[in-house]
Chains A and B, each alone.
Chain A
Amino acid sequence: MARLAAKAVSKTYGATKALRRGDLEVEAGEVHVLIGSNGSGKSTLCKIVAGSVRPDNGELLFEGHPMVVSGPNAARKIGIGIFYQELSLAPHRTVAENILLSDLPGGVFVDRKALNTKAQRYIDLFKNVTGDNFHAGAIVETLRPDQRQLVEIMKALSSEAPILIFDEPTSALDRAQVDRFFEILRELKDDGRSIVFISHRMDEIFALGDRVTVIRDGETVATKRIAETDAAEVIRLMVGGDETLTAAEPHQPTAVAATAKTVLAVDALSGDGFGNVSFNVAAGEILGLGGLHGQGQSAVLRALFGATPPTSGTVLLNDKALASSSPRATINRGLAYISGDRRRDGVIAGRPILENVTPVHALKQRLSLATPSSLREKAKPALEALRTKFAGFSHPIGSLSGGNQQKIVIARWLIDRPDVLLLDDPTKGIDLQAKTDLFQLIRKLAAEGMAIVLYSSEDAELLGNADRILVFNGGSVTRELTGADRTPFNLYQAAYEAA
């Protein structure tokens, strides 16, 4: 009998089905790897098991008995400890306080001595690999990202739970830290603990795992013994067999004439989250950025746009140097940036549609006074190009669906045409029809000579639209896919290779 089993659990957030049918069985004394592409539902499944997300349907069994997990606290009591991918640390508290936060020693008062001794036990597990300034009394906020990740690991370990879940625990760790962590996990496994481990790195999966469960599009597709499978098979399971390989027909590369003018030339660009990135984009070309989520693609686009200026490297726009010092500067030079994070980068919440379409126009034309009617005239063709549905220019943007809100944000850039369009996962959370409209427009813009850089977390979008794809891994470009090489298999393989 499996120690922990999830049977057909599902979860829907609004219109998005985060998890359609998650099945998972974990035995005592095994490391069970969970793998799947971006947004396939791995984290949701883990959060359901750990009690921080409530499932809509399905059943959880602990040693054969149905269990109700009413919250993280209840899960801990049952015996489930979890490492959260996005970390669950209190930044102003000390390392020791964070490690033992949910189970502080003492009664009414905090027993500081016991707190430090107990926390020190977990800190000592990582002796010599924690790096400078890491001690029980260090404030978490002052630590490096890898050190914070270690604190989250120690926190999960301190639950001493028989079932431990680690949701991408190694993304920020260095080699020595990963090695030590894996040693600890092997010891725990030998003690009979069950470990669920999510990773995107094939080498880690095969070094550590006993069994692997593959999730695709929110559904568990297979569970295999690691000893009886190989990387190619796991990737095939993630991609979805041969049918999908042919179904996602790659977009025929636009015949970008060899003489086409290079519009944007990026050379050795470095910044927060990426390093030494170089590429050229020609007029009329759609350049795709691919790879796993958060490997530096967004960071490169935001750096080019000046939202988080790069630290070094040169950028030429139409053969003239471009200083990406602020969005205001790059917009005036002819850059456009559309982000999938509408709330952060796009929508001006609570304001009418007209005001949401016109700010870039106002900046570029240095408008100080304008009549609403003249602005409406300019906004109309831009919105029609996207087949945007809206009741009136004066309606608040919040009254529209996510897809239509994104269309408004895109229309903003179409009144005065930019030379380069930077797309940062632009279809996140929008419906299929809006996606189709959007990509039709993008191809049209490219055909008219705009240079386009597209990052998408959905591989099908990249394969279906990009002329070339640069695969990112660990903040740099590891592979370039052109022509017939642009297949789902190649894209997955390049993305999942160890950095």
Chain B
Amino acid sequence: MTTDLVAAQPARGNALKRAVERFPFLPALIILVVLLVLNGLYQPRSVSFIGLTGLIKTYLALMLLAIAQTYVVYAGDIDLSAGAIVSLVNVAIITAMDALGGGTGAVLAGLGIGLLVGLACGIVNGIVVATLRLQAIVATFATSIFFTGLALYVMPVAGTPAPTAFWRTYGGRILDIPFVLYAVIVLAVLLLVLARTKLALRLLSVGDDQQAAFQSGLPVTRIRLQGYALCGLFAALAAFCITGDTASGDPLVGGKMTLNSVAAVVLGGTALAGGFGTVTGSVIGALIIGLIGSLVFFVGTPSEWQNLVQGVAILLALMAGILVGRRASR
């Protein structure tokens, strides 16, 4: 059996090509390493243990949102309300924890509520896009306004602080190891498990060719709906991280993150048309966006130029990813 497989795969093409076929996020990984080196050159402390922990602490939310986005992009859909879900979950858990007194029990109850809110938002998106068959890009843009409206109703002005127990845990250490590192390990295991589910394979199959999936007997509507539900859950996790990082409620906190999450997915080598990609790539993509932000700062770009330079840098990263991918596929 094993010899059969080896015989059937002759050593055609170079090693790079095979590596990119096996790990489509490889170009993104190369860019990530280059950015880490550049960051280290301009600010050696940024690549220290503390520096990297800080980076993860700040960008864990974006990583999670990029993961959330990946599952809907798998199926050829998109979620432009992901950031709004983050905002809504953020104000919902802060308000709930505040109302319940802010103790450990209140924090846990608040997290449970947050997951339910995220899940509900995802299901709403799924119903609108998959069941009612509205265009994903427009429909989720509309629900994003709706979710933002809800968030503003729950908390009209930013500023309610998070319970101390919550943000101290997120920013603190357990057994002298930063909490976010535990979070990263749990996340990695979770992603490994999810990658082995039927759902992941079915989402990708729907994204590959929706008509073919339907004709093969897959419940296409249900699968797309499940993708959005999963997206809502991960958006809620992203909201937990951003709440831990900012330690306060803000009904507009997630707005800017939506398109960053889409950019991270594309940087990670996932096809926006669906059917092809990896969650790992999206995580790397989120880190690339984070590192570009900090590099622009470390280089000493004047504040009025930072946006411009950051935009150009993201464009360059996208182009570099495509170039590496193309060379490999030759």
A residues touching B (Cβ–Cβ < 8 Å)? 50, 52, 71-73, 75-76, 82, 84, 87-93, 97, 101-104, 106, 108-110, 112, 120, 132-139, 155
A106 to B201, CA, bound (A): 12
B275 and A72 within 8 A (CB): no
B204 and A92 within 8 A (CB): yes
> Count of A-B contacts with CB under 8 A?
86
Q: Which of A88, A112, A134 has the most CB of B within 10 A?
A: A88
Interface assignment of B212: CB less than 8 Å from any CB of chain A: yes
Per-position binary interface string of chain B over residues 14-41, scored 1 when its CB falls under 8 Å from any chain A CB and 0 otherwise: 0000000100000000000000000000
* Chain B contacts for A120, CB-based, 8 A: 1
Q: A101 is contacted by which of B5, B8, B216 (Cβ under 8 Å)?
A: B216
Asked whether A52 and B214 contact (CB < 8 A) given A93-B201, A109-B198, A135-B4, the answer is yes
* Chain A contacts for B217, CB-based, 8 A: 71-73, 75-76, 102-103
* Chain B contacts for A133, CB-based, 8 A: 8-10
A90 and B219 within 8 A (CB): no
* Chain A contacts for B21, CB-based, 8 A: 139
Interface assignment of B208: CB less than 8 Å from any CB of chain A: yes
* Chain A contacts for B1, CB-based, 8 A: 120
Q: B198 is contacted by which of A75, A108, A137 (Cβ under 8 Å)?
A: A108
Chain A residue with Cβ nearest B205:
A90
Listed by A's residue number, 11 A-B pairs whose Cβ atoms lie within 8 Å are A71-B217, A88-B215, A91-B208, A92-B204, A101-B218, A102-B217, A108-B198, A109-B198, A120-B1, A135-B8, A136-B5
Interface assignment of B197: CB less than 8 Å from any CB of chain A: yes
* Chain A contacts for B205, CB-based, 8 A: 90, 93, 97, 101
A50 to B4, CA, bound (A): 36
Query: Ordered nearest first, which 7 A-B pairs have the shortest CB separation?
Result: A90-B208, A102-B217, A88-B212, A73-B217, A88-B215, A135-B8, A72-B217
A155 to B218, CA, bound (A): 13
Asked whether A93 and B198 contact (CB < 8 A) given A84-B215, A135-B4, A135-B9, the answer is no
A132 to B216, CA, bound (A): 26
A71 to B213, CA, bound (A): 12
B198 and A104 within 8 A (CB): yes
A109 and B8 within 8 A (CB): no
Interface assignment of B256: CB less than 8 Å from any CB of chain A: no
Chain A residue with Cβ nearest B4:
A135
Chain B residue with Cβ nearest A51:
B217
A88 to B202, CA, bound (A): 14
* Chain B contacts for A104, CB-based, 8 A: 198, 201-202
Interface assignment of B196: CB less than 8 Å from any CB of chain A: yes
Shortest CB-to-CB span from A479 to chain B, Å, is: 36
Q: Which residues of B from 182 to 201 have beta carbons under 8 Å from A?
A: 193, 196-199, 201
A134 and B8 within 8 A (CB): yes
Q: A73 is contacted by which of B4, B199, B219 (Cβ under 8 Å)?
A: B219
A92 and B212 within 8 A (CB): no
A428 to B237, CA, bound (A): 53
Interface assignment of B298: CB less than 8 Å from any CB of chain A: no
* Chain B contacts for A112, CB-based, 8 A: 196
* Chain A contacts for B193, CB-based, 8 A: 109
* Chain A contacts for B209, CB-based, 8 A: 88-91
Interface assignment of B179: CB less than 8 Å from any CB of chain A: no
A179 to B5, CA, bound (A): 25
9 other A-B residue contacts (CB within 8 Å) besides A76-B217, A101-B216: A71-B214, A72-B217, A73-B217, A75-B217, A91-B209, A92-B208, A97-B201, A108-B197, A139-B21
Interface assignment of B141: CB less than 8 Å from any CB of chain A: no
A134 to B216, CA, bound (A): 21
Shortest CB-to-CB span from A56 to chain B, Å, is: 20
Shortest CB-to-CB span from A71 to chain B, Å, is: 8
* Chain A contacts for B4, CB-based, 8 A: 135
A135 and B197 within 8 A (CB): no
Shortest CB-to-CB span from B205 to chain A, Å, is: 4
* Chain A contacts for B215, CB-based, 8 A: 50, 52, 72, 82, 84, 88
Chain B residue with Cβ nearest A74:
B217
Chain A residue with Cβ nearest B196:
A109
A91 and B275 within 8 A (CB): yes
Chain A residue with Cβ nearest B21:
A139
A102 and B216 within 8 A (CB): yes
Chain A residue with Cβ nearest B210:
A90
Shortest CB-to-CB span from B250 to chain A, Å, is: 36
B208 and A93 within 8 A (CB): yes
A110 to B276, CA, bound (A): 18
Asked whether A72 and B216 contact (CB < 8 A) given A90-B208, A133-B9, A134-B8, the answer is yes
* Chain A contacts for B10, CB-based, 8 A: 132-133
Q: Which residues of B from 210 to 262 have beta carbons under 8 Å from A?
A: 211-219
Shortest CB-to-CB span from B192 to chain A, Å, is: 11
